Structure 1
Amino acid sequence: MSAKRLNVVKLQRREDSSNSHHCCVPLCTASARFNSVLSFHSFPKDKERQKSWVVNIRRNNFTIATHIRVCSRHFQSTDLIEAPTPAGRRRLKNGAVPVLFHWNNFTLPAPTNTDTAQNKDLSMDVALQHHDYCSTAALDLSLDHTEDNRVETVRLQKQMEETAISNKFGLERFAASDDDIRFYTRFATHAHLMAFWRQIEPATQKIMPVTRAGAADKTNEVPHTGNATSLQPIDEFFLFMASLSLGLMQKDLAYRFKIDQSAVSRIITTWANLLYSVLGAVGIWMSEEAVKAHLPDVFQNYSDTQVVLDCTELRCQTSVFSTNKSHCTFKGLIGVAPHGAVTFVSALYAGSISDKEILMQSGIVSLLKPTTAIMVDEGFLVEDCVPCKIYRPAILAKRAQVSVPEVSETQSIARLRVHVKRLIQRVKEHKIFSTVIPLSATGSINQLYTVACLLVNYQNGPLVKAG
């Protein structure tokens, strides 16, 4: 036990027991019902002074109500204006702030003789009290005991915070596990994810939630379990990435994040639009010089290659039918620089469109120069519509005889085109595209697809090694 002890205080019962104010400072048990020496003061109306009081008394997330009080023992004597008469009311000076607490080792004032007289000698020494239900035990406020209480309080607060985090489905819950981050977001690590978040966070300050027009459809909707706007922006982003990466149903996401299903729908659409705008504003098309500066060794025989192009299809519930498929599809053109960065993403078209037609409509032709080359699949018969050189595997199946150089070049180009296939595979690792896209998502499918393609540049390392 520490040699230095705080005074043991005898709490005294007041004649007027109707006043039931209690001090809200942690570890302070003062009550107006049992003490007439102390005065009890309400929080100031000024917001800045309110914040100072809350910070000083260490009550985070504290709601200030009209009945909340701080007793006079936490103010310096120079901050108190004594009442002119015994029946008067003690007041605080303007600007007074509580500064005396158990945790900064202030000494509690013992009751005075005057107070004992005012209360008609009703002092209750706990050691002499038996079965008096109006008495309050004397408090041993030794430094050691107070420090033990403080340590225990901190431990319990930490335990409560950890329990709350473990019960909450949000980014904070999985921040310590890169495996979980990869699973839910496709970002390689938590550090990758947070670096990306810092880039887009300024744009989230002006985010405008998408609302549904007309009456809300309540069919199969999850019961209301929280506020539609209760998620922090970073958890809304985490919800969007989980939806994109795992293809989770909106009802499932509503249960996980404890919000309405309608809120899930709005969050996904809002973030698809936001990221489409933010990432779309970043110029991804690279100059000839930039492409050559990052050219991998495996492309040395095709060093003028500006972009490797290919098309990919998405299955969907829609009336846009592909003529050679048994299901509905969208089709998009994607371009990759030789070192593996996405440098071109077209809009989506009906699945029946040809490779040549999608290349002409996509707008990429205007970006190509005569000094560059494109590398395409054998189905891209586009010599008459591009101004540059074309590297394409030879169509060998329809020819009776093929030269050795043609076979060698075809195999070489096919090996290099694997990189664009791997890129498309990374895009489709977002499970929302590996299943049939629901009709409800077709309104924002262009945004979702484009965002998934552009995110590949941020989520992982390069596809092709420099050496």
Structure 2
Amino acid sequence: MQRRCCSRRSLTEELVNESTQATARDNQEAANALLNLGSDLPSFSEKGMNTEPDPLLQSFEELQQDYNRLQQEYQHLLDENARLNQEIRDSKFTYTNLKSSEIRAYTGLPSMGAFLWGLSLEKILKNMPKSFRKNYNKCRVIIDGSEVFNQRPSNLDALAKTWSNYKHHNTLKFLVGITPYGAISFLPPYLGGRVSDKEITEKTGFYELLEPGDLVLADRGFLIEEELAIRGAKLAIPPFARGKKQFSQKEVETARQLSRARIHVERAIGRIKNFRILQQTLPITLVQHANDILVICGALTNIMPKLVK
């Protein structure tokens, strides 16, 4: 019994010794492995004394130089493109690029003055017709919109913007403003036929030309009374029925007087559209010149006899 206990004790001691030795060997091997990994790295002194250029840094500096050079070339191309575009604009045959002598030669217009649109109150009051002095003596301008057909564009965005629900066709819409004596005083660039009367009045900068106390005559579609009131101007449009079976005698008389005054803007538009180029569907190739065509036609109507005497 005593022998068995001694043998077991000795066996346990041997196992513990072997485990301790194995652990020591593993720790030594791990330490040696770490030393071997660090032996391949340069020391602090070695890294500080390395005079060879870093290839990554050198590549970065070269790329930076190439980028700066390309930036300069890109800016040069932008400047050249802007210069060429300006030369193209200056070489186009438009009313803004013509001198008086050239205007007389090409269009028969007496001077550049026929192209200058404005709303000079002094001239308007000086030439106010008798038919306006009684009821509309403060009338600054009579406005109305019109449309000309244009060829169906292939671009979907342009197709949607030029579609007119009123004409059931692709159109270019323009706004016309005339003085009480019939001269065209406001003729902004075209917009797509989809635009409403209220939108075209706002987008063409019409409000900026008005002054407090001005009176504007228009059709029912120009619901711009609030916009004019902000600038101190007033709007005169035909009355709305608003659920009434018939107008009162006063409303009928007001509508009749306004209709007699407004008819002149329709006559002015008729003069503009009487030119053959605006009577046909405008081809896509001429759409880019549409504003110049409109302005020249408008200027030619201004040298015709007065609409209202």
TM-score (normalised: structure 1): 0.40
1:311 aligns with 2:210: no
* Superposed CA offset, 1:209-229 (max 9, x none): xxxxxxxxxxxxxxxxxxxxx
1:359 aligns with 2:201: yes
1:462 aligns with 2:295: no
How many Å apart are 1:430 and its aligned residue?
0.2
Please say if residues 239 and 255 of structure 2, whose CA atoms lie closer than 8 Å, have aligned partners that are also in contact: yes
* Superposed CA offset, 1:11-70 (max 9, x none): xxxxxxxxxxxxxxxxxxxxxxxxxxxxxxxxxxxxxxxxxxxxxxxxxxxxxxxxxxxx
Q: Which residue of 322, 334, 337 maps to 2:163?
A: 322
Aligned to 2:263: 418
Q: Secondary structure at the match of 1:366?
A: helix
How many Å apart are 1:367 and its aligned residue?
0.8
Q: Which residue of 116, 122, 139 maps to 1:289?
A: 122
Task: Tell me, in whole angstroms, the C-alpha distance in 1 between the residues paired with 2:113 and 2:172.
Answer: 22
Task: Tell me, in whole angstroms, the C-alpha distance in 2 between the residues paired with 1:290 and 1:399.
Answer: 41
How many Å apart are 1:451 and its aligned residue?
1.3
Query: 1:309 corresponds to which letter in structure 2?
Result: I
Alignment of 1:50-69 (within 5 A): none
Between structure 1 and structure 2, the one with the greater Rg is 2
1:334 aligns with 2:171: no
How many Å apart are 1:454 and its aligned residue?
1.8
Please say if residues 197 and 222 of structure 2, whose CA atoms lie closer than 8 Å, have aligned partners that are also in contact: yes
Query: 1:436 corresponds to which letter in structure 2?
Result: T
Aligned to 2:279: 434
| Identity within the alignment, % | 30
Query: 1:291 corresponds to which letter in structure 2?
Result: I
Aligned to 2:188: 346
Q: Secondary structure at the match of 2:289?
A: helix
Task: Tell me, in whole angstroms, the C-alpha distance in 2 between the residues paired with 1:423 and 1:290.
Answer: 19
Considering Cα pairs closer than 8 Å and 6+ residues apart, tell me whether 1 or 2 has the greater RCO.
2
Structure 1: gaps of 5 or more residues: 1-198, 205-232, 242-274
Task: Tell me, in whole angstroms, the C-alpha distance in 2 between the residues paired with 1:353 and 1:384.
Answer: 19
Structure 2: gaps of 5 or more residues: 1-97, 154-158
How many Å apart are 1:288 and its aligned residue?
2.0
Please say if residues 175 and 188 of structure 2, whose CA atoms lie closer than 8 Å, have aligned partners that are also in contact: yes
Aligned to 2:217: 375
Task: Tell me, in whole angstroms, the C-alpha distance in 1 between the residues paired with 2:291 and 2:99.
Answer: 20
How many Å apart are 1:336 and its aligned residue?
0.3
Task: Tell me, in whole angstroms, the C-alpha distance in 1 between the residues paired with 2:261 and 2:226.
Answer: 24
Query: 2:292 corresponds to which letter in structure 1?
Result: Q
Task: Tell me, in whole angstroms, the C-alpha distance in 2 between the residues paired with 1:440 and 1:353.
Answer: 22
How many Å apart are 1:202 and its aligned residue?
2.8
Query: 1:390 corresponds to which letter in structure 2?
Result: L
Please say if residues 144 and 177 of structure 2, whose CA atoms lie closer than 8 Å, have aligned partners that are also in contact: yes
How many Å apart are 1:395 and its aligned residue?
2.1
Query: 2:125 corresponds to which letter in structure 1?
Result: K
Q: Which residue of 390, 409, 414 maps to 2:235?
A: 390
How many Å apart are 1:437 and its aligned residue?
1.0
Structure with a larger share of its residues in helix: 2
How many Å apart are 1:287 and its aligned residue?
2.4
Task: Tell me, in whole angstroms, the C-alpha distance in 1 between the residues paired with 2:195 and 2:219.
Answer: 16
Please say if residues 164 and 171 of structure 2, whose CA atoms lie closer than 8 Å, have aligned partners that are also in contact: no
Please say if residues 203 and 278 of structure 1, whose CA atoms lie closer than 8 Å, have aligned partners that are also in contact: no
Q: Secondary structure at the match of 1:384?
A: helix
- Alpha-carbon RMSD across the aligned residues, in angstroms, is 2.4
Please say if residues 100 and 112 of structure 2, whose CA atoms lie closer than 8 Å, have aligned partners that are also in contact: no
Query: 2:170 corresponds to which letter in structure 1?
Result: C
Q: Which residue of 447, 451, 455 maps to 2:296?
A: 451
Task: Tell me, in whole angstroms, the C-alpha distance in 1 between the residues paired with 2:267 and 2:306.
Answer: 11
Task: Tell me, in whole angstroms, the C-alpha distance in 2 between the residues paired with 1:415 and 1:384.
Answer: 25
Please say if residues 172 and 191 of structure 2, whose CA atoms lie closer than 8 Å, have aligned partners that are also in contact: yes
Task: Tell me, in whole angstroms, the C-alpha distance in 2 between the residues paired with 1:349 and 1:284.
Answer: 18
How many Å apart are 1:278 and its aligned residue?
4.8
How many Å apart are 1:383 and its aligned residue?
1.1
Q: Secondary structure at the match of 2:202?
A: helix
Task: Tell me, in whole angstroms, the C-alpha distance in 2 between the residues paired with 1:362 and 1:398.
Answer: 33
How many Å apart are 1:285 and its aligned residue?
1.5
How many Å apart are 1:279 and its aligned residue?
5.8
Query: 1:431 corresponds to which letter in structure 2?
Result: R
- Name which of structure 1's ranges 303-312 and 448-457 shifts more when overlaid on structure 2: 448-457
Please say if residues 152 and 170 of structure 2, whose CA atoms lie closer than 8 Å, have aligned partners that are also in contact: yes
How many Å apart are 1:326 and its aligned residue?
2.7
Aligned to 1:407: 252
Task: Tell me, in whole angstroms, the C-alpha distance in 2 between the residues paired with 1:424 and 1:323.
Answer: 18
Pair 1:452–1:442, CA change in 2 (3 A): same
* Superposed CA offset, 1:88-111 (max 9, x none): xxxxxxxxxxxxxxxxxxxxxxxx
Q: Which residue of 101, 106, 126 maps to 1:202?
A: 101
Alignment of 1:21-420 (within 5 A): 201-203=100-102, 234=105, 237=106, 278=112, 282-300=115-133, 301-319=135-153, 320=159, 321-324=162-165, 325-386=167-228, 387=231, 388-396=233-241, 398-420=243-265
Task: Tell me, in whole angstroms, the C-alpha distance in 2 between the residues paired with 1:200 and 1:455.
Answer: 16
Aligned to 2:75: none
Task: Tell me, in whole angstroms, the C-alpha distance in 2 between the residues paired with 1:364 and 1:428.
Answer: 22
How many Å apart are 1:322 and its aligned residue?
1.8
